[in-house]
A and B are shown apart, each in its own frame.
Chain A
């Protein structure tokens, strides 16, 4: 490729090849746009290379180990379970590699030009791509910013890649730490804490909030808290760091919890307090792009920013930082550029957390629905009453369906338990389509499956679930 002053003209440039950017690129190409996709690191972005995929591989392996350890009552006795982390990492790397190749093949087949390098805006309608090969200039009609996010550092415990680590490093550890201290009980902290606990580490999670995941239905977070405890993780809610000291590859941290001081000593500290958008250092401000005080780009339902022809999608847009949200936004931006009537009018973005139990949620919690003025009817059904859950050896969990008592509309579905992340799809369809609870309870659900929990929770709203006792209703 010629590198130099000569600027290439293109209809659509997409910056960042994460689940937002590469999906936008493919959809744009499907619609006949001429597309450049610029990526400074790896195709697939955080999600494919350091996030969703590798963490799920590790959750699966560590969960399998935990399962086998408990499998004696199923008749499996395993003499010794050893986890070869090096082997795990290469298996995981293989998956990531295959998926990345798949994405790149798709991009190529769709005629998307993938440009390696870092994009920096030079003036409206123009940008430069910097790489070892020099600078390439591109002028564009439309640009989609899909540059994602990166972890936030704790000012006093800056990442050193060895002892104080972010999630990128945490998925590459050569061996399980002796004591892993996780700062922040969000999804990343809970997921990776669970992984290393199952792999044999002592794990402590500290969190300033008094409640675990306070926006989650309390009935669900209570089950989660129990399962975290059962897994042997020390979860310290409502605790604050008051002092830290690091020496010789160890960190000692003083925390205050319930007015009491405690000293913790760890060989690894995972900082998982959240992520910030990658919107700095690429000339966006000079361009006049509006961001909020936290650096998130403001967009409308069409993913348009305050500048004509400039779109933003994914983690750079305030809201839940989730890959599927990024991808959906990517399709919308691409379609809007082609003049299609697309808009982000979605009612729900499913939330998922993968720990020893999975949590998945769409729509309103009971409390939110009440606050919004609905008269709420909720139905709950426990996993332990599902035949399939028993045969899986996964009896912990509940399914909860929230409905509007006046209209019967399904307002939310919340699940904790095995395979919740897959089960939630039905809830997503129900809430997004404005289904009636009868639509859930009168649809035949295959037996024995975990999906029966949704059907029975919907029936429970009318006190007519079969597999939990409901006293007869007097007519």
Chain B
């Protein structure tokens, strides 16, 4: 039986992927679960295994092609589980072979018409009544792009109306995603008029980052608040414990402790671990603490997530960060490891700088940036002393968090970073 393997819906928000390469060629025998194609989606490169055993008939795509969810990736002649069609072909051939008087026309297209499966059904589909689906078509909305607020993600009439009012109208297929919030685009702008240029397609991770940033920046009213922490004592702890950690193959960094401090602070200030569910008009307080760690890779920014950071020891967190960063850099990271973050930490300080204006990852509501820690003369008890000072900036969603809360959150984190003993007590 001919089997068309289509790009599965790998998860929320991802509706297309770029082909990197096939791992098999036409004519190859393929086992079920054997990887047949590598594609790039969202922020990761994903390998897709064949759901069936069989032989490759067609590899319709080329590297660089964009394929939408549901689009054909590869066509296989699947083994076994044949339709009646197949057997009847055999039967024709049998009869033909058994007698020589008349020659069977094997080219007769044998179709077991009604003998094909009684009622085909699409793979995981949009949950909506026929009426709602019709409504979406009438309003020019691609219903597969509407997020449903009903039970089990059901798309309701209201969802469709809302999408029609707010979202871009999509008639068929996947829209070209707009990278700008308003009408002002640089499309058609004649850059070449002013000098020579090179052009590259905006695609893959870069494109994804662009989309996410536009959504975050246009949705969230950002407020930033800056301060600095005296991390002299903490750095001593880091330095003194480093060899012990290294002996276990783990790289202990300031970020590890910062993650712990952030989790402790989020427990005190649940607003910063929340999200706004625009559809439902509700504030969602999360009882889990997944901390995104912004990671610079040669392909662009990625934010792997340390899951349940509240339940992990300092060393476990350090190891997680190390492994996730490595996977991200090698592009081996799973989509699941990039999702579900409740708060993000970014550390442009490793490169330098004393101030930044970080952008929150929607639908999170806050992001903390740490900047370059430097030894500086500071005043302590009316004396000038040399301390290691680290500037920090927090950006938060003013729809949910007021300036005072943001400042208190920051103060609390600073109090932990300045006093490793206190941090130990508050680490839960």
Contact = CB atoms under 8 A, between A and B. Distances in A.
A73 interface: no
Contacts of A214: 81, 83-84
B173 to A, nearest CB: 11
Interface residues of A toward B: which range? 35 or more
Contacts of B90: 208, 240
- A contact face: mostly helix, strand, loop, or mixed: loop
Nearest to A342: B137
B120 A349 contact: yes
Contacts, number: 171
Contacts of B109: 276, 293-295
B125 interface: yes
A434 B128 contact: yes
B99 interface: yes
Contact of A155 (B95, B116, B128): B95
B134 A186 contact: no
B114 A154 contact: no
Contacts of B175: none
A407 B152 contact: yes
A456 interface: no
Interface string B107-143: 0111111111111111111011110011001101000
A433 B151 contact: no
B85 interface: yes
Interface string B81-101: 101110110111011101100
B130 A432 contact: yes
A347 B122 contact: yes
Interface stretch (A57-65, A128-136, A317-325, A465-473): A317-325
- B contact face: mostly helix, strand, loop, or mixed: loop
A341 B134 contact: yes
B248 interface: no
B102 interface: yes
A34 interface: no
Contact of B152 (A242, A343, A371, A409): A409
Nearest to A158: B102
A156 to B, nearest CB: 4
B348 interface: no
A407 B128 CA distance: 14
Interface in A350-407: 350-353, 361-364, 368, 371-373, 406-407
B114 A321 contact: yes
A363 B154 CA distance: 18
Contacts of B92: 154-155
A320 B118 contact: yes
B85 A274 contact: yes
B114 A188 contact: yes
A166 to B, nearest CB: 12
Nearest to B132: A433
Contacts of A152: 88, 108, 110-111
B385 interface: no
A410 B84 CA distance: 28
Contacts of B129: 432-434
Nearest to B134: A341
B139 to A, nearest CB: 8
Nearest to A359: B118
B102 A155 contact: yes
Contact of B98 (A242, A350, A407): A242
B45 to A, nearest CB: 22
A372 B6 CA distance: 12
A412 interface: yes
B118 A321 contact: no
A155 B152 contact: no
B115 A184 contact: yes
Contacts of A319: 116, 120
A372 B123 contact: yes
A244 to B, nearest CB: 7
B208 to A, nearest CB: 25
Contacts of B102: 155-156
28 contacts: A149-B113, A152-B88, A152-B108, A152-B111, A154-B95, A183-B91, A184-B112, A184-B115, A186-B113, A188-B114, A208-B87, A214-B81, A215-B83, A215-B118, A276-B109, A320-B114, A341-B138, A345-B133, A346-B130, A347-B125, A349-B119, A407-B127, A407-B153, A408-B152, A411-B121, A434-B128, A434-B129, A434-B154
Query: What 9 A-B pairs have minimum CB-CB distances, sorted nearest first?
Result: A351-B118, A155-B104, A407-B152, A275-B113, A208-B87, A274-B112, A294-B109, A341-B137, A186-B115
Interface of B: 51, 81, 83-85, 87-88, 90-92, 94-96, 98-99, 102-105, 108-125, 127-130, 133-134, 137-138, 140, 151-154
Given A240-B91, A434-B154, 12 more contacts: A208-B91, A215-B116, A215-B117, A241-B98, A243-B98, A244-B95, A273-B91, A277-B111, A347-B122, A349-B118, A371-B51, A407-B127
